[in-house]
């Protein structure tokens, strides 16, 4: 009962875990910037944000 | 049994160890910085007032679009990048990022850059950005680069479009001024890249890329550099007598053009190995300064006019 089970499947190395964490943070930041950008432009344009000039 | 084990090893998924720096390298940051700067000038000289948030959004989208083009270019050129010393350290030849990963990264960035510019700013700018990415990736990278010695002449149009995209973002239309900026970068590209190709011709020959020095030889390239530089100096100065840009720009363009022309003549005359190498390196380095200084003059004029309108 006390024996620890070996994890199934792929076990990530420390380097792989670190780089994956870095990439995840970068993606989160990029998405955050996109959200802030859309919010800021909506505030700037006001109702005109719905106007789509060609 | 051993065959089964080997297959099991080959079929196991590859776990990426690429970090953020590898993905930033895919964006070609140095090319991006020049794109940002030229786009900033296109935005600055455009008439009317663009809200700073929209101006920032436009520049960001153009920069990300340029980065996406760089990533897609590297994804498609991984094989030749590995053969050239200048590009062998890029993330794909080093095995840090795979081609499908770079393709997915580039496509995602291109999609978001175009859509964001279109939705938040205007669709003329969005469409022009999409065309720029398409031209660089499909026309230049996929079609021209491995096919013709005129690759960087025609492909140079992609690098010349950012100020036009920026102008369209600011005004929602096109005009003569951004097209003049386009022409300046367009005619600047051949002397700039052929100067590089002259001292990297072994690299290009090894990779089988038909750059002009590889196909036509260094002497023909030197002549072409000189001819294109003459056209560049004329095109860069033309907006002054035509009345689009003022005398400060005109005189600066002539002074910088004289420097560019002197170095092009130097490249044409010096054909001995070490002297020729030094001459082409000199022209390559100065050409970057030339474009930066020329566009900086326009930017400084706009800023000066805003600060002290009575003087200008």
For B6-19, give the DSSP string: HHHHHHSPPPP---
**Per-residue pLDDT band at B309 (split at 50, 70, 90):** confident
B84: left (phi over 0), alpha (psi -120 to 50) or beta: beta
Establish if B5 belongs to a structural domain: no
- Rounded to whole angstroms, the Cα distance separating B253 from B292 reads 11
Could you say which of B116, B137, B172 is where a domain stops? B172
| B206 and B258 co-located in one domain | yes
Query: Of the candidates B129, B146, B172, which is a domain's last residue?
Result: B172
pLDDT attached to residue B72: 98
CA distance B185 to B195: 15
Which of the four pLDDT bands, split at 50, 70 and 90, describes residue A38? very high
Half-sphere exposure of B228 (CA within 13 A, CB side): 26
- For chain A, how big is the Rg over CA atoms in Å? 22
Is residue B240 over pLDDT 70? yes
Shared domain check, B216 and B299: yes
Task: Quote the pLDDT of residue B249.
Answer: 95
Is B228 contained in some domain? yes
| Residue-level pLDDT at B250 | 95
Q: Does A12 touch chain B if contact means CB atoms closer than 8 Å? A: yes
Give the gap in angstroms from C-alpha A15 to the nearest C-alpha of chain B: 7
- Looking at the domain assignment, is residue A25 inside a domain? yes
The answer to whether residue A4 is domain-embedded is no
Residue B12 inside a domain? The answer is: no
How many angstroms away from the CA of B148 is the closest CA of chain A? Answer: 36
Are B143 and B204 in a shared domain? no
Nearest residue in chain B measured CA to CA from A29: B20
- B199, B189 in Cβ contact below 8 A? no
CA–CA separation, B26 vs B180, rounded Å? 30
Q: What is the pLDDT of residue B99?
A: 96
Number of domains into which chain A is organized: 1
Interface mutation vs chain A, best among B11, B12, B13, B15, most A CBs within 10 Å: B15
- The predicted model gives B20-45 an average pLDDT of 96
pLDDT at A4: 62
Radius of gyration of chain B, Cα coordinates, nearest whole angstrom: 21
Instruction: Clarify whether residues B222 and B288 are in a common domain.
Output: yes
CATH code of the domain containing B161? 1.10.357.140
Judge whether B3 lies within some domain.
no
Residue B297 domain-assigned (yes or no): yes
| Domain boundary residue, one of B151, B172, B193 | B172
Arithmetic mean of pLDDT, A39-54 = 81
CB-nearest to A22 from B19, B54, B112 is B19
Distance of alpha carbon B203 from alpha carbon B201, whole angstroms:
5
B36 and B167 share one domain: yes
Q: Is A23 in the B-facing interface, judged by CB distances under 8 Å?
A: yes
Burial class (CB in 10 A: 0-12, 13-18, 19+), B69: buried
Structure tokens at B169: 């973002």
Quote the pLDDT of residue B210.
95
> Is A3 inside any structural domain?
no
Q: How many domains does chain B have?
A: 2
pLDDT for A3 beyond 60: no
Name the nearest CA neighbour of B68 among B20, B104, B41. B104
pLDDT score for B259: 98
pTM to 2 decimals? 0.91
Mean pLDDT, rounded, for B97-107: 96
Minimum mean pLDDT among A39-43, B130-134, B179-183, B306-310: which range?
B306-310
Within a domain: residue A1? no
The whole-number pLDDT of residue B264 equals 98
The DSSP secondary-structure symbol of A6 reads: P
- Regarding an ipTM greater than 0.90, the answer is no
Nearest residue to B254 (alpha-carbon basis) of B163, B280, B269, B245: B245
Q: Which residues of B16-38 are buried (b: 16+ CB within 10 A; e: fewer)?
A: ebbbeebbebbbbeeebebbbbb
Q: CA B24, CA B268: separation in Å to the nearest integer?
A: 37
The pLDDT of residue B188 is 98
Residues of B in contact with A38 (CB under 8 A): 120
CA A51 centroid distance within chain: 29
Flag whether A2 is in a domain. Answer: no
- The answer to the question of residue B2 being in a domain is no
Query: Pick from A23, A44, A53: which is nearest to B54 by CB?
Result: A44
Q: Is the pLDDT of residue A47 over 90?
A: no
Q: What's the whole-number mean pLDDT along residues A29-36?
A: 97
Query: How many CB pairs (< 8 A) connect A and B?
Result: 47
Q: Say yes or no: B165 and B235 in one domain.
A: no
pLDDT band at A54, cuts 50/70/90? low
Please indicate, yes or no, if residue A44 is contained in any of the structural domains. yes
Regarding whether B230 and B144 lie in a shared domain, the answer is no
Instruction: Please indicate whether, in this complex, the C-beta atoms of A37 and B18 are within 8 angstroms of each other.
Output: no
Domain check: are B271 and B298 in the same one?
Answer: yes
Verify that B238 and B104 share a domain, yes or no.
no
Q: Which of B9, B50, B53, B117 to mutate to test the interface with A (most CBs of A within 10 A)?
A: B53
Give B88's contacts (C-beta < 8 A, 6+ positions apart). Answer: B81, B82, B94
Question: Are both B164 and B180 inside the same structural domain?
Answer: no
Residue A31 domain flag: yes
B97 DSSP 8-state letter: S
In this predicted structure, the answer to whether residue A30 has a pLDDT above a threshold of 90 is: yes
Whether A37 contacts chain B with CB within 8 A: yes
pLDDT 10s digits, B246-294? 899 999 999 999 999 999 999 999 988 889 999 999 999 999 999 999 9
Query: Can you give the residue range of the structural domain that contains B275?
Result: 175-312
Residues B133 and B189 in one domain: no
B256 shares a domain with B160: no
Phi first, then psi: what are they for B47, rounded to 5°?
A: -70, 160
Q: Pick the range with the lowest mean pLDDT from A18-27, A43-52, B21-30, B276-285.
A: A43-52
Tell whether A11 is covered by a domain: no
- What is residue B4's predicted lDDT score, i.e. its pLDDT? 47
Structural domain span for residue A29? 16-49
């Amino acid at each position: 009962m006390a024996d620890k089970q070996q994890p199934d499947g792929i076990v990530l190395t420390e380097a792989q875990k670190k780089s994956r964490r870095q990439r995840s943070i970068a993606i989160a930041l990029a998405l955050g910037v996109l959200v802030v950008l859309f919010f800021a432009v909506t505030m700037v344009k006001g109702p005109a944000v719905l106007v789509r000039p060609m | 049994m051993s065959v089964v084990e080997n297959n099991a090893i080959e079929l196991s998924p590859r776990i990426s160890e690429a970090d953020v720096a590898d993905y930033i390298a895919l964006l070609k940051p140095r090319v991006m910085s020049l794109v940002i700067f030229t786009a900033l000038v296109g935005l600055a000289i455009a008439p009317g007032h663009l809200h700073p948030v929209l101006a920032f959004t436009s520049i960001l989208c153009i920069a990300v679009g340029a980065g996406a083009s760089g990533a897609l270019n590297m994804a498609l050129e991984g094989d030749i990048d590995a053969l050239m010393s200048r590009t062998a350290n890029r993330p794909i030849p080093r095995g840090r990022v795979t081609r499908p990963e770079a393709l997915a990264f580039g496509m995602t960035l291109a999609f978001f850059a175009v859509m964001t510019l279109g939705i938040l700013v205007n669709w003329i700018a969005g469409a022009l950005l999409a065309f720029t990415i398409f031209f660089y990736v499909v026309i230049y990278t996929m079609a021209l680069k491995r096919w013709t010695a005129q690759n960087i002449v025609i492909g140079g149009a992609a690098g010349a479009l950012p100020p036009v995209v920026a102008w369209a973002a600011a005004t929602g239309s096109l005009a003569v001024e951004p097209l003049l900026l386009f022409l300046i970068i367009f005619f600047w590209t051949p002397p700039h890249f052929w100067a590089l190709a002259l001292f990297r011709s072994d690299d290009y020959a090894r990779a089988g890329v038909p750059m002009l020095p590889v196909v036509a030889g260094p002497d023909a390239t030197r002549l072409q550099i000189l001819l294109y530089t003459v056209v560049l100096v004329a095109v860069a100065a033309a907006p002054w007598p035509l009345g689009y840009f003022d005398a400060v720009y005109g005189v600066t363009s002539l002074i910088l053009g004289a420097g560019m022309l002197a170095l092009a003549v130097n490249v044409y005359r010096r054909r001995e190995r070490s002297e020729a190498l030094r001459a082409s390196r000199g022209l390559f380095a100065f050409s970057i300064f030339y474009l930066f200084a020329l566009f900086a003059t326009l930017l400084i004029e706009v800023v000066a006019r805003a600060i002290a309108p009575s003087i200008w």
